[in-house]
Each structure stands twice: as structure tokens, then as C-alpha cells.
Amino acid sequence: MVKSKQAKPSGWKRIAKERVSILFKQAGKEFRKHPERSKRYVELSRKIGMRYNVRIPKDLRRRFCSKCSSYLRPGVNCRVRTSESKQAVTVTCLVCGFVSRHPYIREKQNIKQ
């Protein structure tokens, strides 16, 4: 038999968002001494976000590799480059080699206005 989806109370999304942000703070603190623990914190926060259908904020999303779920610290386990021709910031994970590109055209236009 298939289990029916139960409706989750409205307060759970708020609690899930808080837990995601707390886990990311802990991942940042633990990264230097225990990188594997910080990776686990990122994995847990992603699972919480998926389970309760909560979006991880953009600034937190850019702090981890979407392929291997490792916490990214520029200069330690990721390389950050800007490309004038592509108008993007390129972040390369040095653990798995995944390359993510984040456009910065909108930010540049907002500064001009």
C-alpha cells in the first residue's frame, strides 16, 4: 500500500529554514579542523531543505558544491575566477572538479543605477 502524504504544519517550514542556516554556520566553523564534518552538515541541510520544500538562500547555495556537497572555502578547496568576456564568476571545486558559473550582469547594472 502507498502511504498518503500528511500535511505538515505551517510552522515546520520556519523551523526548517532556521535549521538550514544553523547547519551552514556550523559547517563554516568546523571546516578548518574537520572538513568531513562540515560536508556532513551541508548534506544534512540539503536533505532538510528537500524534505520540507524549503529553498536554500542564494548566498548559502553558493557556499557548497552541488555535485559532491563539500563546503567551499575560496583558496582552500575551491578556485574563484572572474571572466570579463563571459560576465560570470567561475567557481571550481578542487575536491571533485565541478565548475559552477554565476552571472554578475544584474549586480553590475544595479551598481550603475
Q: What is the CATH number of the domain that holds 102?
A: 1.20.5.420
- Residue 71 burial by Cβ neighbours in a 10 Å radius (0-12, 13-18, 19+): buried
Least confident of 1-10, 58-67, 70-79, 100-109: 1-10
What local confidence, expressed as pLDDT, does residue 109 receive?
65
Total number of domains in the chain: 1
Q: Is residue 41 in a domain?
A: yes
Q: Give mean pLDDT, residues 13-39.
A: 95
The answer, yes or no, to whether residue 9 has pLDDT greater than 90, is no
What local confidence, expressed as pLDDT, does residue 108 receive?
58
Q: Which domain holds residue 66?
A: 11-112
Question: Could you tell me which of 90, 50, 100 has the C-alpha nearest to residue 70?
Answer: 100
Q: Give mean pLDDT, residues 107-111.
A: 64
Residues 110 and 24: their CA atoms lie apart, in Å, by: 28
Contacts 24+ apart (CB under 8 A), 54-57: 54/13, 54/16, 54/17, 54/20, 56/20, 57/21
Q: Is residue 58 in a domain?
A: yes
Q: Is residue 3 in a domain?
A: no
Q: Is residue 2 in a domain?
A: no
Q: Give mean pLDDT, residues 45-55.
A: 95
